[in-house]
Amino acid sequence: DAKTTQPTSMDCAEGRAANLPCNHSTISGNEYVYWYRQIHSQGPQYIIHGLKNNETNEMASLIITEDRKSSTLILPHATLRDTAVYYCIVDTVGGSNYKLTFGKGTLLTVNP
């Protein structure tokens, strides 16, 4: 079963920041937080991942709480093309096996 909890859906106005929360209270010390999104009719797209420090790339920022039990994905200036299902996943990196367990995710709708 998925080890994360996300809201089923969220709305955001175009041009505003979208803040997507994720709870992962049972995360282990060696598990990373990954974010993917799936735009309709496409495969999941990797966005960002982190262990305990906040991370930023050209797509988004990831804020992880100090106790690592929750995180927030931030899209700083949402556009209509950011409408998608966003998945928060916790998993290890490395080792002989690496499987992603997808939950139901959050449907983010960006409105004009």
Partner 1 sequence: SAVISQKPSRDICQRGTSLTIQCQVDSQVTMMFWYRQQPGQSLTLIATANQGSEATYESGFVIDKFPISRPNLTFSTLTVSNMSPEDSSIYLCSVRSSNQPQHFGDGTRLSIL
104 binds partner 1 (CB under 8 A): yes
- Cβ proximity to partner 1: between 27 and 86 the closer is 86
Q: Does 99 bind partner 1 (CB under 8 A)?
A: yes
- 35-66: buried (b, 16+ CB within 10 Å) or exposed (e) per residue? bbbbeeeeebeebbbbeeeebeeeebbbbbee
Q: Is 42 a residue that touches partner 1 (CB under 8 A)?
A: yes
Rounded to whole angstroms, the Cα distance separating 7 from 9 reads 6
Quote the least distance from Cβ 93 to partner 1, whole Å: 6
- Site for partner 1 contains 46 (CB under 8 A): yes
- Closest distance to partner 1 from the beta carbon of 14 (Å): 25
How many Cβ atoms from other residues are within 10 Å of residue 86's Cβ?
Answer: 24
Pick the stretch among 19-27, 54-62, 75-83, 86-94 that binds partner 1 (CB under 8 A): 86-94
- Rounded Cα distance between 92 and 111, Å, is 35
Give the CA distances from residue 53 to residues 8, 62, 106, in Å, rounded to whole numbers and listed in that order.
26, 9, 23
Q: 43 vs 112, which CB is nearer to partner 1?
A: 43
Q: Write out the residues near partner 1 by the rule CB under 8 A.
A: 34, 41-46, 49, 87, 93-94, 97-105
